[in-house]
Structure 1
Amino acid sequence: MNTITYPTITIDLILDRHTSRDVLRAILDAILFHRLFGTVKPKMREVLGVTMPGVSDPEMERLVEEKVDAFWKGIEGGLSKRGQIVLTFSEKRPKKSWFQVVVGEEDVPWEQWYLMRKYNNPGIEADRQQFDTALANTLTKSIHTMLTHTSSDRGRTAVPLITNATGISPFPIRITVKVGGVEIG
């Protein structure tokens, strides 16, 4: 069987209750900013002193908010203190049956982004400042990872031909939330 390989990019995060939602929203927004190919109205988000790009679109904002809330509820529900959010970009291709007859369409991924999250609870104020500084550095590195990947040869060639230019994204986008290895939301 011929396996198709596509880029997978992982961003490891150590978060706490205080900053978890803002950081996850900012990173998802930044990835979408770099991977949406329609007419995008940009916005900026300030998190821990790091300016992150984003997309001002009600549908994308709702999707991000919904998935971050599902992730938060899964973590708070005690399922696990580890989890991941997987952002998958796909393209629609004709689905062929056993005898190469087209029987519909299927989503074929061309890139996946993994946000791996571990929970931490800094106790005293000195720990909080050190934790926030480390998290700000992680945000800066994540922006660097996004820029490096999307401008690299592998990142550019991963994008399929755009054949449908309607809407903010010509490609299906799927955000999956997993906490403790169980898909939620």
Structure 2
Amino acid sequence: MNCKEHYLPELELPTVHVRESLQAILCTILFIRSPGPVSPRDVECEGFDLTYPRIASSSNSSVVAPSLDYDVDKKVDESIQSFLMTLSQIGPELLSGSLTLSFFERRKTQQLFGLVSNEERVVWEQWHLRVVVNNTPRPVSDDSAAVIERQRIQDTAEGMLRSVLTKIYEIAGSSIDHVPPVMYEFEISCSKKVDDRENVYSRVTNMPNLININF
């Protein structure tokens, strides 16, 4: 089975919005890829004017494999915490990291004339998301310039999150021929791999001023 890979738009978020944004993204994907009937729960973001679907908790059911006692919310929260712990510095006040949400099924194979049974995990879909975390302090005063800047930061972050959620729904509405007709599981992994673009970005942002212009 070939693995279908989806690359979501890159996010740049102020620190205060990172956790909630990742919860919205991961829970939305898990909801639309749930293989069995689940109860939806609409969640209103505290930091944004956005609502996203989440799988309602139930002691009698699981998101992807009824035989496994998965606490989905706990797994999402733990993965976000791990992501925050693995961020890499790419600028004076910028950190970067990547999340990958993988769906897989377990398959048993027989070897040595059926005497040995092995189990393998077959990944059939992955969702990739790169996040830049901006630790620049937000203005806290009440003057008009500070109010405008806080609103600009808020609107920019909300627009980026909205674009990612829109992309998720676009992908969800495309072909699902690769989705297996059996129950499956998921895992969320974190990476702090620095690509060439990040290296260039880091060098530029850390470059000393060559020209000082005084007015």
Query: Same fold by TM (over 0.5)?
Result: yes
SS at match of 2:10: strand
Q: Which amino acid aligns with 2:80?
A: V
The residue aligned with 1:49 is 49
Partners of 1:101 and 1:149 in 2: how far apart?
A: 42
Aligned counterpart, 2:18: 20
Q: Which AA in structure 1 matches 2:189?
A: T
Counterparts in 2 of 1:45 and 1:105: CA distance versus 1, 3 Å: same
- Report the Cα distance in structure 1 between the residues aligned to 2:150 and 2:190, rounded to whole angstroms: 27
**What does 1:81-160 correspond to in 2, within 5 Å?**
81-95=95-109, 103-122=117-136, 123-124=138-139, 125=146, 126-153=148-175, 156-160=176-180
Under a length normalisation based on structure 2, what TM-score does the superposition of the two structures give? 0.68
Counterpart among 31, 34, 44 of residue 33 in structure 1 = 31
- The separation in 1 between residues aligned to 2:111 and 2:72, in whole angstroms, is 34
Where does structure 2 lack aligned partners over 5 or more consecutive residues? 59-70, 90-94, 140-145, 195-215
Contact 1:9–1:113 (8 Å) recurs in 2:
yes
**Any idea what the Cα deviations from partners look like across 1:66-102, whole Å, max 9, x if unmatched?**
1111112333xxx431101110001222346699997
Conserved? CA contact 2:8–2:127, under 8 Å: yes
Does the 8 Å CA contact 1:110/1:159 hold for their aligned counterparts? yes
Which region of structure 1 is more displaced relative to structure 2, 21-30 or 127-136? 127-136
Whole-angstrom distance in 1 between the partners of 2:115 and 2:100: 32
Shift of residue 139, structure 1, vs aligned partner: 2.1
- Distance between the aligned counterparts of 1:69 and 1:150, measured in 2? 26
Using a 3 Å threshold, how does the CA distance of structure 1 residues 102 and 143 change in structure 2: closer, same or farther?
Answer: farther
Aligned length: 167
Q: Match for residue 167 of structure 1? A: none
Secondary structure (helix, strand or coil) at the match of 2:8 reads: strand
Residues 19, 80 of structure 2: 8 Å contact kept: yes
Larger Rg: 2
Q: Distance in 2 between matches of 1:82 and 1:100?
A: 47
Give structure 1 stretches of 5+ with no counterpart.
Answer: 163-169
